[in-house]
Amino acid sequence: TGRRRLNATISRHRVGPAVQRRLYTPDDPRVAAYLVFLRISAPDGRWVDPGVAQGWVRALVGSDYVECVHELPRESTPTYVWVVDGSFLPIASPAELVTPAPVPAR
């Protein structure tokens, strides 16, 4: 049928009080609870089309929250991270909160 299988690995990590304070705004008083990581890979190790991976992200979080999702740029397969509240609804977060800082060349 032309369709290929993909694996989705999802993990969550609790955020601490410093991140909760940083993300709090009066406009959105929800409390950050977790960082959610999504890694999309192919079972046979082949390349995953970024457009297909982004389509899955949109399907999982919904188009209303897609701007809350950040792609981790230096991963071998599409990997995304976003912050959620206790009900697992995404919360807006700055990209620098969840993406690694560039490493200077030596």
Dump pLDDT digits (tens) for 51-92: 999 999 999 999 999 999 999 988 889 999 999 999 999 999
Q: What is the pLDDT of residue 67?
A: 94
The whole-model pTM stands at 0.86
- Mean residue pLDDT of the chain comes to 89
Q: Is the dihedral of CA 20, 18, 14, 7 positive or negative?
A: positive
| Tokens linked to 79 | 């990997």
How much of the chain, in percent, has pLDDT values that exceed 90? 71
Q: What is the dihedral of CA 61, 62, 65, 66, to 10 degrees?
A: 80
Q: Are 24 and 33 in contact (CB under 8 A)?
A: no
Rounded Cα–Cα distance for residues 104 and 40 (Å): 28
Q: What is the pLDDT of residue 99?
A: 67
The pLDDT confidence band at residue 49, using thresholds 50, 70 and 90, is very high
The pLDDT confidence band at residue 42, using thresholds 50, 70 and 90, is very high
Q: What is the pLDDT of residue 1?
A: 46
Q: What is the mean pLDDT of residues 31-55?
A: 94
Within 10 angstroms of residue 30's Cβ, the number of other Cβ atoms is 17
Residue 30 corresponds to which amino acid? R
